[in-house]
Structure 1
Amino acid sequence: MSSTPPETETYDVTLSREEQWVVHHVLSERVDEAIDDDESPPTWTLELVETIESDSETLTGYQARRLHDTLAEYVDRDATPRQDLVHGSTVLTRLAEILDAEH
């Protein structure tokens, strides 16, 4: 059984402008859904939006895992625009490589 990596572990994830837009869009949707449900948005989404908007490339292990899972859901939707699929899939591959290296 593998152990969970410490949350202080960070990863540099370089995103193109288009990839940043897709990630920002997916995170914004997550925040909007929470607000529409009269809930507080998950803290990790707000922190990650701030990270992306500040052009930082450093994600915690937790943020990378959550972003991977959220982005995978978005890419799997039938209604996701083709261009978002291209950029979203590229980010997913990059995140998967980082997360696989953890184990």
Structure 2
Amino acid sequence: MTSPQPETETHEVTLSRDEQWAVHAHLASIVDEALENDETPPTWALDLFDAVEDGDGTTVLTGSQARRLSDAMTSYVDCEESPDRDVIHGSNVVNRLEDCLESEPTQ
């Protein structure tokens, strides 16, 4: 007899078009950098890219994806080279993700 798989916590994150663009731009840069270095892009970045692109405004992320995206966007908004508009929208994304991670997950 096998044990049932534990349900994965998920979080619905609603992003504006500008917030989606900031996430898209940063994830694309991670993928592009890996390709330029003849490396395989990180799976987590590709998975997040797909999740955000498929979300149509509302993106469903696992807890680990939400934490990973929060960490990635925090690094992006803290980078002096990030465009000001991306810093504003990226900061909103980080705040929204932190709020989701602090609240009860949906199943």
TM-score (norm 1): 0.85
What residue in structure 2 maps to residue 3 of structure 1?
A: none
What residue in structure 2 maps to residue 96 of structure 1?
A: 98
User: Which runs of structure 2 are paired with 1:1-103 in the superposition (5 Å)?
Assistant: 8-54=8-54, 55=56, 56-101=58-103
Secondary structure in 1 matching 2:102:
helix
Matched-pair identity in %:
54
| Partners of 1:11 and 1:61 within 8 A in 2 | yes
Give, in angstroms, the shift of residue 64 of structure 1: 0.6
TM-score (norm 2): 0.82
Give 5+ residue unaligned stretches, structure 2. Answer: 1-5
1:19-65 deviations in whole A, cap 9, x for unaligned?
00000001001111111222111112111111221225101111111
Give 5+ residue unaligned stretches, structure 1. Answer: 1-5
* Number of aligned residues: 97
1:59-92 deviations in whole A, cap 9, x for unaligned?
1111111111110111001121111111001011
Q: Which runs of 4+ in 1 moved over 3 A?
A: none
Q: AA paired with 1:60?
A: T
What RMSD in Å do the two structures reach over aligned CA positions?
Answer: 1.7
Which structure has the bigger radius of gyration? 2
Task: Name the stretch that deviates more: 30-39 or 84-93.
Answer: 30-39
